[in-house]
Amino acid sequence: MKSFFQYMGLISFPEAPLYKLCPHLSSVSSGSVTIFSVMEKSRQNQKHLITSPSFLALMKETGSSKEKAIILKYALQNAHDFGGKVNLQAVLGAVLREKPELKKDVPKVLKEIQNIAKEVEQLSPAALKEKLKDIAPELLQKKEEKEQGPLKPLPKAVPGKVSLRIAPSPSGLLHIGHIYGTSLNYEYAKMYNGKFSVRIEDTDPEKIYPPAYDLIVDDVQWLTDNGVSGVIVQSSRLGIYYDYAEKLVTLGKAYVCTCDADKWREMKNHGTACSCRSLNEKDQQLRYAKMFNEYAEGEAVLRLKTDITHKNPAMRDFGIMRINEHVHPKTGKEQRMWPLMVFSVAIDDHELGITHVLNGKEHADNALKEQIIMEYLGWKPPVYGHWGRINFSGFSVSKSKTRLAIEEGQYKGWDDIRLPFLRALRRRGYQAKAFRKFALEIGLSLNDKTVSMEEFWKMINAFNREIVEPRANRYFFVDDPVEITIESCSPREVQVPLHPDFPERGKRTLKTTDTFLIAKNDYKQLAESYVHRLMDCCNFILQGTTFRFLSQPYNNYKNAKDRGRIIHWLPAATKLQAEVLLDTGLKLSGVAEEALQKLPVGTIVQLERRFFARIDTITKNKIMLWYLHK
């Protein structure tokens, strides 16, 4: 049989190599020795760090207790980050964010934190780091990443002179697929104290949703905390594109092609030039002029002269201007010749002084085309960076399909709570910083990623919870209420903290009698002969169909042998009707604290024991809230 030290991979002799402590002590057999020391060689003085038997016993306990394991990792992180001392409230906040259901018994959790903190504070700085590395290396990694900065430096970036942009199409509104790119470009601009612009690419008249012009800009301003330096609409710059197109024709770098589209495609694939390419400058200029008023849609395309035998067929004499007779919402029928994307992008990036272009790697070919255009015009191209494709599995994020579904009445609008579009997410109460943190976590990487619905929301909700949890005051909401009478319960005023972590915010007052409203689901789960508790109010017992008052102090409930449930409640006289719209589109109906009626629309609150929600509308006797997340 192996010795305990062999089994655990531990060495107690200074001349032997140091091995890490196994993080999962639950794998040790019950017959193993329970007290042992870990000796680690110090680089400075060759002394050994000895882990106390009590701490090792604690480590073994965490192998069978998920709650203790969570507390231990955050206590280790806090002590490691702040000089060996544990901030109990900070650890409590971290634990409750990861496991919200523990909020029902905060005093017990806090006592456990105190016990674990005593053991953690006995560890040396090196031991703290080693234990944290064993138990929760991701927490150690997060601090190191924070110290280094969340984003990798951009090539050739000069602070104060960096300029980035995003270029959405006004075919619909922004959805979760736009969050990453928009946030990443903005964060880089902020990192270098540079400019961040929004360019509306509306040069395809057939795919424009007119309200999107203003709504896109509004969404981006929200997502970037009003960080937009300027807004450019391409349809207002047609004259600029016409001038540069004419210049390319004059330079002999572009020609008007009137070949049949299918014939041209076949010739291009074979690396063969068409007869239009070799026409003289005068003929080309005449043809270019005719694109404005003579040629019909589809009869002529202005092409850039490149290498017709280029190994990448996409680079061969690609189009830069074409005719489109469709009525444009901005210019009407006044203009009929429109730039293709690569041409307008190349012109705008130069004219607007864009220094860095960050977009998906599917735009790599477009970047090469844009560089060719800039080279012909004698310009220095920006620095290009690309990210891998992010596939959101389980999401429907098509702007065109969503627009059609809205028009058909399947959704109430772009802010329908069921949609993963920014208008809806904003209305629910999501914070811009949470989405930007998601982008920072991923960074600028060429690796393709598939993000499931569950994984995405888990990340976003965690980031958002960090922001709203300290801000959101607590209130009671009782859905599907059932009235109960607790015998011998005297009328009084109950003082309930607005926020347990911020006592300076004060308390809310609820006037009680012996009659209360509780949720029907809680009512069904009240076991007979157990001691139950109305939060911050009183303890009671259910005997048959009778509810009997026992006491008020929490400790009486805590120390009860047959301890039952802690539930939220409202006085039976509560008049404020409330509805909560869930992310499924369904509604919860019930009553809510009347203090909610005095809060501004848009306030985010935590409905005790339920979830975070945003106040959406308030009328005289009714309040509507939108579900945010747990």
Question: Measured between alpha carbons, how far is 605 from 627 in angstroms, rounded to an integer?
Answer: 10
All structural domains of the chain with their residue ranges? 4-148, 238-342, 474-629
Q: Which long-range contacts (CB under 8 A, 24 or more apart) does 407-413 make?
A: none
Tokens of residue 52, six digits: 């106390």
DSSP letters for 364-417? HHHHHHHHHHHHHTT-PPPEEEEE--EEEET----HHHHHHHHHTTSSSSTT-T
The predicted pLDDT at position 59 comes to 57
- Between strands 570-571 and 515-519, the pairing is antiparallel
Reported as a single tens digit per residue, the pLDDT across 211-267 is 999 999 999 999 999 999 999 999 999 999 999 999 999 999 999 999 999 999 999
Q: What are phi and psi of 81, to 5 degrees?
A: -80, -20
Can you list the residues of the chain whose pLDDT is less than 50? Answer: 1-50, 144-148
Question: Measured between alpha carbons, how far is 276 from 255 in angstroms, rounded to an integer?
Answer: 7
Helix (H) or strand (E) run with residue 135 in it: helix 125-135
**Interhelix angle for 66-81 vs 88-98, to 10°?**
130
Do 500 and 474 contact (CB within 8 A), yes or no? yes
Instruction: Kindly list the distances between the CA atom of residue 89 and the CA atoms of 62, 75, 244, 473, in Å, as whole numbers in the listed order.
Output: 20, 10, 63, 17
Can you give the C-alpha Rg of the chain in angstroms? Answer: 33
**CATH of the structural domain 238-342, one choice from 3.40.50.970, 3.90.800.10, 1.10.286.10, 3.40.50.1000:** 3.90.800.10
The label of the residue with tokens 């009084």 reads: 492
Closest CA to 384 of 349, 348, 343: 349
Tokens of residue 261, six digits: 């589209």
Q: What are phi and psi of 130, to 5 degrees?
A: -65, -45
Do 475 and 596 contact (CB within 8 A), yes or no? yes
Do 603 and 624 contact (CB within 8 A), yes or no? no
The predicted pLDDT at position 248 comes to 98
Q: What are phi and psi of 235, to 5 degrees?
A: -65, -15
Q: 474-629 has which CATH code?
A: 2.40.240.10
The label of the residue with tokens 């920006």 reads: 382
Do 582 and 465 contact (CB within 8 A), yes or no? no
Tokens of residue 523, six digits: 């009512």
